Structure 1
Amino acid sequence: MNVIPLLLALGLCYTGSICKGFEIAHHHNYEEMLQVMEDVAEKCPNITYLYSIGETAGNKGRELVVIVLSDNPEKHEVGEPEFKYVANMHGNEVVGRELVLDMIVYLCDQYNRGNKTIQKLIDTTRIHIMPSMNPDGWEKADGNQAGKDWLVGRSNANNVDLNRNFPDLDYKIYHDQSKNNHLDFQYSPVFQPETMAVMDWIINTPFVLSANLHGGDLVANYPYDESRSGNKQDYAKSPDDNTFVYLAESYAENHKEMSESHEPCEPMDEGDDFGEKGGITNGAEWYSVSGGMQDFNYLASNCFEITLELGCEKFPPASDLPKYWDDNKNALIEYIWQTHIGVKGVVADENNNPIADAVIKVTNLTGGQNKYINHDITTGQQGDYWRLLVPGQYEVKACAAPKYKCVGKMVTITNPRHTEAQVVNFILPAATAKSQKREKFVNENQVFNTAEKANEEADYERMAELKELLAAYLKGRTN
């Protein structure tokens, strides 16, 4: 008896070991990609929802299609964080596209089989997956003898690199310390249809965590992607550097090879062995990128995003895809769980009415320090918030000036595995004229002190550079 048709009918052929090499070892074109998504929606109708966020630039009827997996997939639920994976932004970097297709089939299958861990993940998280942000580029790459050229298909139909096409908010944050989140930007004709659609998607959905799947190297890359100095390679630390390192490590350490020493990928890293660094890198330290999607997420919304480079080959042979799935499966799933680190809650007034756009401020008290993390997040329309944090002691403060007083609470974060974030709710009393004046003074000085500290650190770095130059000069004179 041929069991393959039976397994196909049961929806198990994508993930069952007997079928490896049948569906997993296959590059799906646009129509086949949609078919996989539709098949999953049909097999798991209670936990899936398909939607499109817009069309591509190629005028060929291709859309940016997303599938949601959640216990209530069609709408946001108060207290439930939203997560996203975006793959195939560069059309010739195709591994991520195939991995997330494998993953949605796996999640549906495991949910239906009663896998308690997967059921809990899906029931407590609203997971959005876009297998291809650049389907037009994929078609170009696929027509190029399965992506043999390093660049063909990288850009969209208008020959624009989508990961250089977002607003350059890094420049704004580096030159103006007055605002540290939800930075304003202007829409412009230079933004491609794919970029515009994703920008609106990010701004209008309360995403908490995200990853952008690329290829060409093997490393988890975290913000900032653009250097402060303008140098091509220069570590650019964000206010949440500790958290971003934690997030990148969560992927690298659950990948079968990323955090281990491995052969460098040429020509991307010019000999860098990222495995020796634990499989992670700061984006700007690797090479500076202006207008990237990763930093846009962090600076224009509440969403923390990292970029995952999934292997040296951008368009590997289909026969290699099962190994990529085996290497990445646990990492892909464990990374979604990181949506639940830190704290979450609801901010409301004394009548229990939710307060939208309240500001959540965090001060790190771990080890006796008293360091304000200069990146606030804001509550959603239903008053809910999520603040990703690494283990430690913090003061978490909710503010909604000028109408309400700020309220702060001390919390200890431990982040137990596969557990929802610690709940910290706030009730904000109405503000008085005196309390408004006090909060204004505190907030202004907090921003000033943070900016002053950043300037001091920059001055220290410049002095260190000058000392090194002087030492080299003096050494040269004595030789």
Structure 2
Amino acid sequence: MEVRACAGKMDFARLWLGLLLPLVATLDFSYHHQEEMEVFLKNVAQNYSSITHLHSIGKSVKGRNLWVLVVGRSPKEHRIGIPEFKYVANMHGDETVGRELLLHLIEYLVTHDGKDLEVTNLINNTRIHIMPSMNPDGFEAVRKPDCFYSNGRENGNFYDLNRNFPDAFEFNNVSRQPETMAVMEWLKTETFVLSANLHGGALVASYPFDNGVPGTGTLHSRSLTPDDDVFQYLANTYASRNPNMKGDQCKNKMNFPDGITNGYSWYPLKGGMQDYNYIWAQCFEITLELSCCKYPREEKLSTFWNLNKASLIEYIKQVHLGVKGQVFDQSGNPLPNVIVEVQDRKHICPYKTNKFGEYYLLLLPGSYTLNVTVPGHHPHLTKVIIPQKSQDFSALKKDILFPFRGQLDPVPVSNLACPRIPLYSNLPSHSAATKPSLFLFLVTLFHILFK
């Protein structure tokens, strides 16, 4: 009772403190070029230094900083039990809506902390990383806004960054670009759990895989992960709260009745960022296409913000799905590099504990058996039941005591240790997820008859 009372007093104090915090100058609904964006981000970081941390993860081809603003109670470092979330936008420089949405999201979060209970709880329990522009050179290269393709899509070396990552299904021997390498290195520094990548040119939430092989279901015009149920839920979470992401909203575009699609079902893509996040970084990422027009007139930006604000907030909250915890030995020491996965949904690159012995598994409500594996020891099985009603801003906590005597051999910790070669080339078509549903059978038949 005393702990609850103390926590209640702290939340009340934060609400009052929020009324006294300085306000960021109101961000207008216009396009903000690099210098303007930097002024805004630095202003936020200065005025809200207790909950924000601004840093650059690298530079673009032309030397522009790739800025990331972190929002959380411990913005400069990871805290055990607090999941890491990220948004990345403007990967294609001429797809601009996401860039501005993330700037307005930053403003919304910092100005509502201590005033809005949902935002305050989100910041209390989540570390949120926001990168408004992964491709600042491309954005600056666009001379005239255009709804369709422009040279600003690519980076300064004319590479499409969303075709530039290692691919798990086939060799992708393109020259890795500075922006791509910066993101790959960034993923090594944090235990990211959930992410979204903001694009434009359509209205749909797309989920992995973007590429595939028969073992992931490509013979049935799709490519599914072992966590397909979670990915469909995540995509629906975003799309269902945006009234524009339903039906045929974009003329001459594909119709997505529920506003979601499997990436491969839409069109195969080699070297995409969302597949790389899921396979090599243990991070669930989806791609959000948020505007029919890639670079719409700026007077439309306020409408896009109003359409997407609820979705952007609700999607962050999904980082608290499922189960999390630490793995310890019998002496109470946290164990890094331990494989922790659900027994019937193993990943081609096994999901492992970080240097703190932590694991995070995004799962829908249900009963699961966790398989905890330390090299040289028998697997340890433990059952968990994810309740129908998730806890407020926290996944189910399940610490695991691994029953063995003696010490583990020291192993260097890396969440990207899986080799970067086509990993799925010999995957057998055995997964139930790859078997066609009646709906997909009818869709495939339609394409055969009428394409």
CA gap 1:310/1:452 in 2 versus in 1, 3 angstroms: closer
Q: Who is 1:36 aligned against?
A: 40
CA gap 1:100/1:459 in 2 versus in 1, 3 angstroms: closer
Name the SS of the counterpart of 1:153 in structure 2: helix
Q: Does 1:334 find its partner at 2:333?
A: no
Q: Does 1:378 find its partner at 2:352?
A: yes
Cα displacement (A) at 1:453: 6.0
What is the one-letter code of the residue matched to 1:454? H
Cα displacement (A) at 1:255: 1.5
Q: Who is 1:85 aligned against?
A: 87
Q: Who is 2:247 aligned against?
A: 261
Question: CA RMSD of the aligned region, Å?
Answer: 2.9
Cα displacement (A) at 1:416: 2.3
Q: Does 1:395 find its partner at 2:394?
A: no
Q: Deviations over 1:111-138 (max 9, x none)?
A: 04x2121111011111100000000000
Q: Does 1:430 find its partner at 2:416?
A: no
**Unpaired segments of 5 or more residues in structure 1?**
1-8, 15-22, 173-184, 364-370, 433-449, 473-479
Determine if contact 1:233/1:288 at 8 Å carries over to the other structure: no
Find the aligned partners of 1:321 and 1:32 in 2 and give their Cα distance. 17
Q: Does 1:416 find its partner at 2:390?
A: yes
Greater mean alpha carbon deviation, residues 403-412 or residues 296-305: 403-412
Find the aligned partners of 2:433 and 2:133 in 1 and give their Cα distance. 41
CA gap 1:374/1:167 in 2 versus in 1, 3 angstroms: closer
> Pick from 6, 25, 32: which aligns with 2:29?
25
Find the aligned partners of 1:149 and 1:451 in 2 and give their Cα distance. 38
What is the one-letter code of the residue matched to 2:362? L
Find the aligned partners of 2:132 and 2:398 in 1 and give their Cα distance. 34
Find the aligned partners of 1:425 and 1:206 in 2 and give their Cα distance. 17
**Unpaired segments of 5 or more residues in structure 2?**
1-20, 407-425
CA gap 1:350/1:253 in 2 versus in 1, 3 angstroms: same
Determine if contact 1:343/1:421 at 8 Å carries over to the other structure: yes
Residue pairs, 1:438-449, within 5 angstroms: none
CA gap 1:291/1:391 in 2 versus in 1, 3 angstroms: same
Residue pairs, 1:151-300, within 5 angstroms: 151-171=150-170, 190-228=175-213, 234-258=221-245, 260-266=246-252, 269=253, 272-274=254-256, 276=257, 278-300=258-280
> Pick from 303, 307, 317: which aligns with 2:287?
307
> Pick from 347, 352, 359: which aligns with 2:339?
359
Higher radius of gyration, 1 or 2 = 1
Percent identical pairs in the alignment equals 41
CA gap 1:289/1:453 in 2 versus in 1, 3 angstroms: closer
Q: Deviations over 1:218-242 (max 9, x none)?
A: 0000000013259799211111111
Cα displacement (A) at 1:418: 4.1
Determine if contact 1:234/1:287 at 8 Å carries over to the other structure: no
Find the aligned partners of 2:136 and 2:290 in 1 and give their Cα distance. 19
Normalised by the size of structure 2, how large is the TM-score? 0.82
Cα displacement (A) at 1:203: 2.6
Determine if contact 1:53/1:64 at 8 Å carries over to the other structure: yes
If each structure's helix is expressed as a fraction of its own residues, which one has the higher value?
A: 1
Normalised by the size of structure 1, how large is the TM-score? 0.78
Q: Between Structure 1 and Structure 2, how many residues are aligned?
A: 401
Determine if contact 1:164/1:291 at 8 Å carries over to the other structure: yes
What is the one-letter code of the residue matched to 1:197? A
Find the aligned partners of 2:395 and 2:314 in 1 and give their Cα distance. 15
CA gap 1:454/1:102 in 2 versus in 1, 3 angstroms: same
Find the aligned partners of 1:94 and 1:206 in 2 and give their Cα distance. 28
Cα displacement (A) at 1:429: 1.7
